[in-house]
Amino acid sequence: MKKVFAVLLIFLFLSSCTIPTFKKNNIYNDNILYSCIGDFDGDSRADTIYLVKEKDIIKIVFKSKRMTKTQKIKLNINNFYCSVEDINDDKCDDFIINTIEDDVENIYIFTFKDAIKEILSPHIINNQINFIKKGSIYTVSCGNYKSQIKSNEDLNLKLLYSTTEYTEYGKSIITEGILVNKDNQPRYTLSITYKINSLGKLNFLDIKCHPGEK
């Protein structure tokens, strides 16, 4: 009888208590759009990257055994895919996001060695491409490379996509686009090949411009 009474007291005590539940981090819940594992800081230990949506804000979260870093980014999340690759040969994995919007495939690349750093984006590559018209001569140049064409039409440069590929130069990034006339008809195809070094600088390797659309 005493044992039964003791059990009842314990049951009543437990039922009257609120047992707290702990979340490791409120950010890692249903708001996760993507997550992956890699050695992003070069310490030979597994780290985790989360792509998180909080209301209308998109964030990249880097989590290692030593720290957690967070950075807001501008990203179209309606159509995207991600991958992990050491794109700049610094012995650390990089986080690559490809988004597709209005038939244009954009690429974003982030490194995490010292801080979360965006080393490639549509804004960065557009700032590196010079498109100049002088008379009927159009010149497209990047770094020390350039390509020239002659046309009596008014042409505009439209970038279509960027992707990582293995080329004759090794692991590279290729950005392709077209030169279109005022009626948005393609007249020339543009292909730019480049690499990103360990400091995040774009090193251009080749640029080609051909008549017509691929």
SS3 198: coil
Model pLDDT, residue 30: 66
CA distance readout (Å), 175 to 68, 123, 163, 201, 207: 33, 13, 7, 16, 10
Q: Give ∠ CA 139-99-37 in degrees, rounded to 5.
A: 120
Q: Are 174 and 161 in contact (CB under 8 A)?
A: no
130-134 vs 117-120, strand pairing mode: unpaired
Block mean pLDDT (10 aa), the chain, length 214: 43 39 43 94 94 90 93 87 93 94 91 93 94 95 94 94 91 95 95 94 95 69
In three-state secondary structure terms, 163 is strand
Q: Specify whether the CB–CB gap between 31 and 52 falls below 8 A.
A: yes
Alpha helices in the chain (DSSP H): 2-16, 122-128
Give pLDDT, residue 29.
Answer: 57
Q: What angle do CA 108, 161, 95 make, to 5 degrees?
A: 20
Which amino acid is located at 63 in the chain?
K
pTM value surpassing 0.95: no
pLDDT at 140: 96
Asked if 133 and 151 touch (Cβ cutoff 8 Å), the reply is: no
